[in-house]
Amino acid sequence: MLSAVIIAKNEEVMIETMLKSIQWVDEIIVCDTWSTDKTVEIASKYAKIVNFDWNDNFSDARNYAKSKAKGDWILSIDCDEVMEVGWIEKIKYAIDNTKKCDWVLINLLEENGTAKTSAFRVFSKKLDWQWAIHEIVHPKNPTKLDVTITFWISPTHYVDPHLDMRILQNEYEKDPKNPRTCYYLARELINYKEFESGAGLMWEYIRLSESIDEQTDWYYWLALAFWYLWKREQAAVAASQALLRNPNFKAAIELIADCQPIQEWKDRWNSFAYGANDTGLIYIHNFKQECQRSA
């Protein structure tokens, strides 16, 4: 049995589209954190509603919602996401026919068609969410499906725009040496244009990390922070460290190209970027879009 589990608050604009896209699961649980709009009214047409007192901890909310589900398998989806109808049957087939599997890796695709990452959105109910934000489960036997969830940006993100930063700062105060917290807080600082602080924390995380795949992404963020600070030589060196770990990293190559003092060198690096395919990356970046965000 496959249960879809969703946490929501004031999602009247987005939630119905998402719920209609997953009607073919066996059960839908919407965990509402006391909405004041029509979220519950809309969701009650499609799902069982439970309530949770929000405490700035996404894992607590997701685990509570999961505890109310009857299924042995959980589909986790957000209100600003949709799944094509045919994917549900493909997921059900996979979990019914892969005995040792305890989670399914799902592609996440931005509304403009840009592939961003893959994530564990289908997993055994025995697994629990961990971390207050950017929450994860820790599976032992994953399998990957060619299944896609498409996501938008919900208007609720602009109601409490500092939510991520607030939670991350609280988590950092509890454990300033936690590498995962350092990484996500550094990313948030860079997005807030606090580039010096972000670069410092990112470097701290890189030294703590033991994963080559993670280091690849984090060296790129470090390079991006230096690029924003107009420290182009340092940016190129950091991006080169990312390329040493994955030479298919297109955005890192484009960043190096942008740092070159001579047009001929820029052109040569951009020709390398043209042939890169981003294979093996945790997150797919778009350097040109990230440049525009710094303006």
Would you state the pLDDT for residue 44?
97
**Common-topology check for domains 2-157 and 162-293:** no
Band of residue 112 on the pLDDT scale cut at 50, 70, 90: low
% of the chain beyond a pLDDT of 70: 96
pTM of the model: 0.87
Mean pLDDT in residue range 52-71: 96
Domain boundaries, the chain: 2-157, 162-293
CATH value of 2-157 in 3.90.1300.10, 3.40.50.300, 2.40.160.40, 3.90.550.10: 3.90.550.10
Q: Dump pLDDT digits (tens) for 25-53.
A: 999 999 999 999 999 999 999 999 999 99
Assign domain 162-293 to its CATH superfamily. Tetratricopeptide repeat domain (1.25.40.10)
DSSP conformation letters of the chain: -EEEEEEESS-TTTHHHHHHHTTTSSEEEEEES--SSSHHHHHTTTSEEEE----S-HHHHHHHHHHT---SEEEE--TTEEE-HHHHHHHHHHHHH-TT--EEEEEEEETTS-EEEEEEEEEETTS--BSSSS-B---SSEEEEEEEEEE---GGGGTSTTHHHHHHHHHHHH-TT-HHHHHHHHHHHHHTT-HHHHHHHHHHHHHH---HHHHHHHHHHHHHHHHHTT-HHHHHHHHHHHHHH-TT-HHHHHHHHHT-SSHHHHHHHHHHHHT---TT-SB---HHHHHHHT-
* pLDDT exceeds cutoff 60 at 213: yes
More confident residue, 140 or 241: 241
Would you state the pLDDT for residue 145?
81
Mean pLDDT in residue range 166-194: 93
Would you state the pLDDT for residue 268?
96
* pLDDT exceeds cutoff 60 at 294: no
